[in-house]
Structure 1
Amino acid sequence: MVATQKLYPRATVKRIVKAHAGRNISKNTDVLVFLDYILFMQELMREASIRARRSGEKSISARSIRKVTESTLRRMRG
């Protein structure tokens, strides 16, 4: 039988969320937090890629990411 690799440390994510929220969290909250994080990173990289192409860069730079971080955070705030 092949052992599967975990995508992220569930216990660590639960501990971090609990520390910030100051409450117990339900069973699958850590999964939802991780998925939201992945969606945010995907959107951030997509926007940074668009910004880099528009400014004539060949690859995504830290400057491209910094420029789109605030607008992406605003959109993902929900």
Structure 2
Amino acid sequence: MAPTTLYPRATLKKTLKAHANKPLAKNVDILVFLNYTLFLQEVMKEARIESKKAGERGVSARSVRKVRENCLRKFKG
């Protein structure tokens, strides 16, 4: 069974090259994708905590908006 890709590697590499103006490592797209995945995981974890504090049954857009800025600060490079 052939492995499936989770994201379009070529498109991501082209986008990164266009914005970087520097030489990039061979696997930079993988690192960016993994960092993005960790960021989303952190946002959902914090939003889940926030929604439980507010007494909500599930994660809402309001709880995600509350934690978004703090998570963006954590992942700023």
Q: Deviations over 1:13-56 (max 9, x none)?
A: 11111122133422000010001000000000000000001000
Q: Considering only aligned residues, what root-mean-square deviation do their CA atoms show, in Å?
A: 1.2
Q: 1:60 is matched with which residue?
A: 59
Q: Which runs of 5+ in 1 are unaligned?
A: none
Identity of aligned residues (%): 53
**C-alpha displacement of 1:9:** 1.1
The yes-or-no answer on 1:11 pairing with 2:1 is: no
When normalised by structure 2's length, the TM-score is: 0.91
TM-score normalized by the length of structure 1: 0.90
**In structure 2, what is the equivalent of residue 48 of structure 1?**
47
Distance in 2 between the 1:12 and 1:50 partners?
35
* Larger deviation, residues 11-20 vs 46-55: 11-20
Specify every segment of 5 or more residues in structure 2 that has no aligned partner in the other structure, as ranges: none
